[in-house]
Amino acid sequence: VRADFPRFLDDGRGVDVGRVLGSFQDFQTEEHAHPTDGTEGGSRHVIDMNTDGIIDAYSTRSSGDDGGYLTGSNTGRFGGSETRGRNTAFAGFIKY
């Protein structure tokens, strides 16, 4: 448990259902996207990864109809439903 966060057992709340005392969970990053855009000269270049893991890239010129394109590429999905550090399950007790 060294360098791990303690995460107390669910005890019927519906979070971490089926988790047992002493079990380990590795870190996880919640699924998300990072849009990127840039402007150079008279053109605008945009690269955007949407929540489905698809990268859309396109370029538009400031004048005229030439030079635009749209492309898609599947980068694969990764991540989970929450962001958490490495943790070990403990029972939480309050002593009066």
Alpha-helical (H) ranges within the chain are none
| Cβ atoms 22, 88 nearer than 8 A | yes
Q: Span 16-24, mean pLDDT? A: 88
| Cβ atoms 7, 88 nearer than 8 A | yes
Higher pLDDT, 90 or 40: 90
Closest CA to 25 of 92, 94, 91, 84: 84
pTM over 0.75: no
Please check the confidence at residue 94 and state whether its pLDDT lies above 60: yes
Q: Where exactly are the structural domains of the chain? A: 5-74
Residue with tokens 């550090």: 85
Task: Tell me the pLDDT tens digit for each residue of 25-79.
Answer: 988 887 766 555 554 455 555 666 666 666 666 655 555 544 444 444 444 556 7
